[in-house]
Every structure is written in structure tokens, then in C-alpha cells.
Amino acid sequence: MERSPAGIDKIEILTKQLKGMGKIALAFSGGVDSTFLLAMAKQAVPEKLLAITVVSQFFTKEEKLLAKKLADTMGVDHICLDLDILGEARVVRNTSQRCYFCKTQIFSLVRETAIKNGIDTLLHAVNMDDLGDYRPGLEAAKELGFLAPLVEVGFSKKEIRACSRQMGLETWNLPSQSCLATRIPYHDLITREKLGMIDRGESFLRKLGFRDFRVRCHGNMARIEMDPEGFSSLMEGDTRRTISRGFKKIGFEYVACDLEGYKTGNMNKFKKQ
């Protein structure tokens, strides 16, 4: 496995930590990080592990199916819970603290379910790279007693992907995930209609073969952020016209491409207190 600059095997350290935790419940999204942590926990404590996925309006159908498939493939007990996050007014108002209120709801539900199943060790799969972005939801996880072993051991996203590849995990090169709410500017109300348009727009682009991108919703305009490799393909005449027509059928009146490209957490630069 990949080693840190100090020559310390992070896999061995992580395995040792997990073995000492007893029964474990993991907040499981099915993304790169949580799948890696679930696989490591399965190896360390195979009989004492529960994956819990919370599905809200911010979570796509494809993500739900993938999370179930991954847990089943690993032979891990998996519970999928529904959450009406649009019923939480503080989330719908979409202030800069939206993520905190949302994660409080999600992690509270995970914690409650874990306790009902006789588990009091709670994990989430935040990594070192996440600490460099604006993520108020991390405070909610801390307040509710969730541990972050990937941070404690010092795993970066790059290391997680490399280790996942060596372990044969299909998620090793999965594009970065984030909830659909991150596509809507702060202080714009979050609605079911906007989320549906964003979801359909991103599904449309995936079917065309694009990978690393985001569809940001600015009222009646879709702003597409695309990685450099996909940008030239997106701007080809036939493809550009196909996307424009497709997005207008979805409900957008205007379709724009951001010349700065795709960057995780890009909407955070627009946040206000």
C-alpha cells in the first residue's frame, strides 16, 4: 500500500484503530471515502459493522442504488433511511449554515439507529482534504460524537483513491460526490423543483459521457462547471446544441458554461453570513 513520507503504513494504523473500536456504525454515502472506510472496517471488524445510509431530497436515486450495491457486495449489514430534509426550514432557507443544520438531521438519525442496534461507536469518512474547505457539517458530526479515523490517520483523497484501487474497490475513480443543495447559491431558497432540474441536468450530462462537472442553478439559468478534459467536447457544435436543447426541455431558460471550470466547493466563495 502507499506509504506516507515518514514511511508509516497508514493502512496498518487505520486497521489497528478500527480493531480497537468494538461495534461500529458508519454513516455511508457510497462515495469514494465512505466505501474505502467501510471496506477497511469490514476487514478489521467483520462481525461488528453496520452501514447506515440516509436518503433525502439531496441524495440521487443513482447514489442510493450504488450505496446498496456496495454494501451488499461487501457483505455488510446495511440500513437505508428516508429523511424529508425539505421539512427543515433552516435547511430550506439555505444560509451559510445550511450544511450544519442538514448534517445535524442526518447524523442524529444515524446515531439514533446505531443505538437501537446496540452500537455506540459512530464513524464518518471525512478526509484531510475536506478540512481545507468550508464544511460546517463537520461541527455537527463532532457534536454528535462521530469519529473521523481517516483524518486521525492522515489520509488524503489521493491516498484513499490509490488504496481503493489496490484493494479492487470500484469506487477508486468515482467522481467526487456532494449533495444536490451545493448546486444552489446560498440564500436562494431550496425547492424540490430546483433539485429535480439539477438532478436531471447532471444525469443528462453523464449519459453523454461527461464525468467531472457540476450543474449550478441560478434561477432560470444553468451554469455548467466542467473539467478541462471535458470542456472542449462540451463546446463542440453538435454536443453544445444537444445540451442546450436538453437543458431547456428540463426547464432552464438559459444554459451557460463557466470558463473557470469545475472546482469542488466552488459555491462557497459566494457565501454570506
Are 30 and 67 a contacting pair, CB within 8 Å? yes
- Boundary of a domain, candidates 107, 136, 166: 166
pLDDT on residue 121: 96
Judge whether 40 lies within some domain.
Answer: yes
Residue 3 belongs to some domain of the structure: no
- Asked if the structure places residue 259 within a domain, the reply is yes
In a domain? residue 1:
no
pLDDT tens, 137-190? 999 999 999 999 999 999 999 999 999 999 999 999 999 888 999 999 999 999
The last residue of one of the domains, among 166, 195, 221, is 166
Judgement on whether residues 84 and 206 belong to the same structural domain of the protein: no
Residue 138 and residue 192 in one domain? no
Mark whether 241 and 111 lie in a shared domain.
no
Candidate ranges 5-14, 96-105, 234-243; pick with highest mean pLDDT: 96-105
User: Is residue 5 scored above 60 in pLDDT?
Assistant: no
Query: pLDDT per residue over 149-163, tens digit each?
Result: 999 999 999 999 999
Average pLDDT over the chain, rounded to an integer: 92
DSSP state at residue 86: G
Q: Looking at the structure, do residues 137 and 223 belong to the same domain, yes or no?
A: no
- Indicate which CATH number applies to the domain containing 255: 3.30.70.2210
* Domain match, 29 and 151 both: yes
- Please give the Cα distance from 159 to 163 (Å, whole number): 6
**Residue 199 located in a structural domain:** yes
Q: Are residues 184 and 140 part of one domain? A: no
Confidence grade of residue 244 (pLDDT, cut at 50, 70, 90)? very high
* First-to-last C-alpha distance (Å) of the chain: 43
184 and 154 housed in the same domain: no
Number of domains in the chain: 2
96 and 215 both lie in a single domain? no
Weakest mean pLDDT among 3-17, 30-44, 90-104: 3-17
Same domain assignment for residues 61 and 117? yes
- Same domain, yes or no: 26 and 155: yes
Lowest mean pLDDT among 87-96, 209-218, 228-237, 240-249: 228-237
pLDDT tens-digit series, residues 22-36: 899 999 999 999 999
> What pLDDT score was predicted for residue 133?
82
* Torsion angles phi and psi, residue 236, rounded to 5: -60, 145
Per-residue model confidence (pLDDT) at position 134: 85
Q: Give the global pTM.
A: 0.91
Tell me if 174 is assigned to some domain: no
Question: Quick one: 133 and 184 in the same domain?
Answer: no
The percentage of residues in the chain with a pLDDT greater than 90, rounded to a whole number, is: 85
Question: Shortest CA distance to 14 belongs to which of 153, 189, 135, 159?
Answer: 153
State which residues form the domain around 114: 10-166
Angle at which helices 10-19 and 32-44 cross, to 10°: 60
Quick one: pLDDT at residue 2?
44
- Based on the domain organization, do 205 and 252 belong to the same domain? yes
Kind and range of the H or E run holding 40: helix 32-44
| Sign of the CA dihedral with 115 first, then 119, 121, and 127 last | negative
Do 244 and 219 meet the contact criterion of CB atoms below 8 Å apart? no
